[in-house]
Amino acid sequence: MKLTRLLASAGLLASAVVVLHGTTAAAAPTRYEAETAPATCTGTIDSNHAGFSGSGFCNGNNAVGAAAQFTVSASAAGSATLGVRFANGTTTSRPASVIVNGTTVQTASFEGTGAWTTWVTKTLTVSANAGSNTIRFSPTTANGLPNVDFLDVEVAGNPQPGNAMATVAAMQPGWNLGNSLDSTGSDETSWGNPRITQALVTNVRAQGFKSIRIPVTWGQHQGPGPSYTIEAAYLNRVREVVDWALAADLYVLVNIHHDSWQWVANMPGDRTNVLARFDAIWTQVAATFRTSSAKLLFESINEPQFTGGSGDAQNAALLHELNTSFHRIVRQSGGNNATRLLVLPTLHTSADQPRIDELLSTFTTLNDPNLVATVHFYGFWPFSVNVAGYTTFNAEVQQDLTGSFDRVANAFISRNIPVIIGEYGLLGFDRHTGTVEQGEKLKFFEYLGYYARTKRITTMLWDNGQHFGRTSFQWSDPELFAQIRSSWTTRSGTASTDQIFNLRSSAITGKTVTLNLNGTSFLGVRQGSTDLAAGSDYTIQGSQLTFTASALTRLSGSRNYGVNAMVNVRFSQGVTWRINIITYDPPVVQNTSGSTGSFAIPTTFRGDALATMEARYADGSNAGPHNWTSFKEFDVAFAPSYGSNTITLTSAFFNEVNNGQRVTLTFHFWSGTRVTYFVTESGTSVTGTTS
């Protein structure tokens, strides 16, 4: 299944033959000796243990951080295969951070090799920039590094056939052409997006994306069984878009998309017909693209799910049947399909361990080196939709991300099975991009890009039209895209908040935010192109950035409610962190009446912004939908409107509120202010009062 190879050490007297999971590339790599500048060694260059190449090796000091660093050049940006040759004559591993261009991208464990004269080469894959790159091995334990002989570097310009890991690495980053050919209506415009143009595809490439996922829903363009013929015009249209993408030098991923819940989900009760129809699609699609470039990949089915079955075991068996049937049909169709990369999802494209284990067993059965695993990632659900009070990118949200990425990396990437996160984003984006607060959103994407990179996972942004303009070719939120794009190559500093609130009704005091340096260092603060003055405008102590009262007073100007100024915190790497300087007073709500279908609380926001809302009955029990939590879902149960000075409670909220029982609402504002309000539903009438 895996491209496991026996790599004999390139050394002269190597006695050990080490099994390495890795891929060798056909072209000769470039060798950088550890003893040759500009390589650096925090220790001495020694030559007392035979078998090294060149004139010596780096014997690093036995200490944390005593690094060996190489400066290597890459002809093009892309995946670089590193071969680091080392000897460790002890029986203890000597792990080291692999730091590429200042960012820790992974940890390498340099195991004992048996003797100081036994040199072995460890293979690692990292992303390199075009031009010069620094690759630093920085030991994380007091034992320091092993002795380091050289670094071989090969940049995958054109991926070698059969090297699935390198190909998928070259697909990073990816973008989804969502809500177009996957629309379930009569044609690709039926979900509100304009017809796809070649200009769109070339502009996607110009944004830096290397791959495009083109989700396709087929069912409404398919004739009846037994042939289930796909309309020729539709198949031609899909081919036209795929060909545009290939011509734009994009890797392309085509799938069966919403068919998954539309009819494939019926497989438990209608196995024969569903399988026949599924097979018919892949038979026709495989024939259509038989000679297409190897840069086209097929994904068996989007977000597989089943209804009416007996549970997990049956679902897993059915998905296995779909995946293996897809695999057999495509492989048997020959041509480039014989070795085309095929992408197989977990059930629900979930990263839960049982789902991963199920898919892994399918990979074991198929035993094919040209397979890719895929899952989707929309973040910790309560954060992703803003429910249950998860308004911030907190430790739990972060752990959900690292846990998911670790699980797929441990299961697949450690076996040289590449992983594509075929969709990522925040679920709240389906309503509007303000469901999650801007700074918290940016922290999520900063971390997602970073962590996927360290795990060598290829990521594809889900975009159903709300991000990249389909005809304007502009980002609706350039700041968000700048953060996402930056995360592909480096970390950025962030902070505990992007909002500093100053009460208008009292004198301005100094305010402190905590910086998340994320491995960067703090450089300063700017307003526009003007530097704030260290000392008089702000002070920095460790990660605590304190703005002085005088700076905040100056920045607040005439202290109108709302954002008076924006400053940008600058770090040694990545994008800046914007902080809004805001003047506010506690918001004021007023008595009103309305109906369960239309209820808007008159609200004077006075510069503040709503984070979340709690709803409880008089006895303290939770009211409204999701009654396992007092904190309701933003934009679903309630929604602020800063333009019309209201907070709306929706019919979805009142549908799950007990008639005649007074509900206490607590509005939580970003300033920290809490405002209490009361609503009572009587039939379809609702009264709202402040006391």
3-class state of residue 118 by DSSP: coil
How many residues sit close enough to ligand GCU to count as binding (CB under 6 A)?
Answer: 7
Q: How far is CA 289 from CA 282, 556, 623, in A?
A: 10, 60, 54
Nearer to ligand GCU, 92 or 399 (CB): 92
Smallest distance, ligand GCU to C-beta of residue 69, A? 17
| Residue whose CB is less far from ligand GCU, 59 or 576 | 59
- Extended beta strands in 219-331, E state: 251-255, 296-299
Can you tell me which residue has the tokens 């100056």? 554
CB of 89 vs ligand GCU, minimal distance in Å: 6
Tokens of 671: 């300033």
Q: What is the DSSP string of 487-544?
A: HTT----EES-SEEEEETTS----EEEEEE-TT--EEEEEETTEEPPBTTTEEEETTE
Is residue 116 a contact point for ligand GCU (CB under 6 A)?
yes
Asked if residues 138 and 97 have their Cβ atoms less than 8 Å apart, the reply is yes
Closest listed residue to residue 153, CA positions, set 67, 80, 78, 54:
80
Q: How far is the CB of 14 from ligand GCU (least distance, A)?
A: 16
438 near ligand GCU, rule: CB under 6 A: no
Pairing of strands 544-547, 511-516: antiparallel
Give the nearest distance from C-beta 45 to ligand GCU in angstroms.
11
Q: Binding partner of residue 116 among Ca ion, ligand GCU, none, CB under 5 to 8 Å per kind?
A: ligand GCU
Nearer to ligand GCU, 90 or 539 (CB): 90
CB-nearer residue toward ligand GCU: 15 or 47 = 47
Host H or E run for residue 322 = helix 312-332
C-beta of residue 127 within 8 angstroms of C-beta of residue 78 = yes
Give the count of residues interacting with Ca ion (CB under 5 A). 1
* Per-residue mark of binding to Ca ion, 408-427 (x: CB under 5 A): --------------------
93 binds ligand GCU (CB under 6 A): no
Per the residue annotation, which of 188, 423, 437, 614 is the catalytic one? 423
Residue 303 among the catalytic residues: yes
Q: CA-CA distance, 280 to 20, in Å (whole number)?
A: 40
d(CA 426, CA 400) in angstroms, rounded, equals 13
Nearer to Ca ion, 61 or 546 (CB): 61
CA-derived radius of gyration, the chain: 28
- Min dist CB 7 to ligand GCU, Å, is 23
Count how many residues are written for the chain: 691
Closest distance to ligand GCU from the beta carbon of 279 (Å): 59
Least gap, CB of 67 to ligand GCU (angstroms) = 14
Q: What is the per-residue binding string for ligand GCU in 146-185, x denoting contact by CB under 6 A?
A: -x--------------------------------------
Cβ contact 33:39 at 8 Å: yes
Q: Token digits for 441?
A: 């959103």
Closest distance between ligand GCU and the C-beta of residue 145, in Å?
Answer: 7
The CA–CA distances, whole Å, from 62 to 110, 119, 338, 585 equal 14, 19, 50, 57
Smaller CB separation from ligand GCU, 116 or 450: 116
SS3 127: strand
Among residues 92 and 512, whose Cβ is nearest to ligand GCU? 92
Do 123 and 82 contact (CB within 8 A), yes or no?
yes
Smallest separation, CB 3 to ligand GCU (Å): 32
Residue with tokens 């083109």, as numbered in its chain: 214
Residue placing its CB nearer to Ca ion in the complex, 59 or 596: 59
Half-sphere exposure of 494 (CA within 13 A, CB side): 23
Cis peptide before 139 (omega within 30 of 0): no
Ranked by CB distance to ligand GCU, the top (closest) residue is 59
Q: Could you say which residues in the range 41-80 bind ligand GCU, by CB under 6 A?
A: 46, 49, 59, 62
Give the other-Cβ count within 10 Å of 200's Cβ: 24
When binding is defined by CB under 5 A, the residue of 9, 23, 42, 59 that contacts Ca ion is: 59
Q: Which does 430 bind (CB under 5 to 8 A by kind): ligand GCU, Ca ion, none?
A: none
Task: Give the integer Cα–Cα distance in Å for 288 and 285.
Answer: 5
Structure tokens at 25: 């590339």
In the bound state with ligand GCU, the residue whose beta carbon lies nearer, of 40 and 62, is 62
Q: Do residues 145 and 98 make contact, with C-beta atoms less than 8 angstroms apart? A: no
Could you tell me the two tokens for 356? Answer: 């991963």
Nearer to ligand GCU, 46 or 270 (CB): 46
Q: How far is the CB of 147 from ligand GCU (least distance, A)?
A: 5
Percentages (nearest 5) of helix, strand, coil residues in the chain: 25, 30, 45
Question: Of ligand GCU, Ca ion, none, which one does residue 429 interact with (CB within 5 to 8 Å by kind)?
Answer: none
> Cβ of 533: how many Cβ atoms within 10 Å?
12
By beta carbon distance, the residue nearest Ca ion is: 59
The crossing angle, in degrees rounded to 10, of helices 232-247 and 198-206 is: 30
* Residue 315, contacted partner among Ca ion, ligand GCU, none, CB below 5-8 A by kind: none
- Helix (H, G, I), strand (E, B), or coil: what is residue 233? helix
- Selection from 202, 132, 127 nearest residue 171 by Cα: 127
Q: Which of the residues 303, 358, 440, 633 is marked catalytic? A: 303
Catalytic residue positions? 303, 423
Q: Please give the residue ranges that form the binding site for ligand GCU (CB under 6 A).
A: 46, 49, 59, 62, 116, 144, 147
